[in-house]
Amino acid sequence: MFRWRRGQAHYSGWYWSATTGAHVVYESRLELARLLLGDFDPRVTVIAAQPFCVSAEVEGVRRRHVPDFLLLGGDGVVTVVNVKPPDQLARPKVAAALAWAGDVFAGKGWRHEVWSGAPPAVLLNVRFLAAYRYPDRVDPATVSWLEEQAVTSARLGDLENAGGPLPADVRAAALHLVWRGVFRVDLTTPLSTATLLERP
């Protein structure tokens, strides 16, 4: 559970994940950004926030650590994610705690990711695409029509004007399919009618 208080430096909340079909908690905007990227990744099948606490005595000192997220891939690979702002990573105490946690996770055969951000353009596009992650907010007939198009790549604007469903429905369905990983786009440039949609 999280708390709000006047003047706090971070923002907590609940994010509805298309991957889990349920809400996932986050404790900062940086955590929300990593959560969005995890939800957008078609390889991720499970997302859990603050999944467990590891505890051990190391050189007479009791260490405890709760990671921010656990991501399970469709290939069975577990990735434990710790989200930290770049300035915190330079602090010896934080670096030592993360190194210890990383050793614990590696001992279990898990990947350990320390995440501090992504290119702004990528995050901006993924935030925009997240509005289309809800399957019940797009026309299912248009989604099916787009999935059945025998094209390996096409501009978004060309699909909208292909003489099929209404252009607005095509755009929403196309962006929903980008979110689902059916189409791939260049996330480093702004999305527009000129955006090229490609089949992976």
Q: Express each pLDDT in 82-121 by its tens digit.
A: 999 999 998 999 998 999 999 999 999 999 999 999 999 9
> Regarding the domain delimited by 13-115, which CATH topology (the fold level of the hierarchy) does it fall under?
Trna Endonuclease; Chain: A, domain 1 (3.40.1350)
Separation of alpha carbons 127 and 107, rounded Å:
35
pTM, rounded to two decimals = 0.90
Whether 198 and 175 have beta carbons less than 8 Å apart is answered as no
Q: Express each pLDDT in 41-98 by its tens digit.
A: 999 999 999 999 998 877 777 889 999 999 999 999 999 999 999 999 989 999 989 9
Three-state SS at 19: coil
Domain boundary assignment for the chain: 13-115, 120-198
Three-state SS at 151: coil
- The residue among 11 and 122 whose pLDDT is bigger is 122
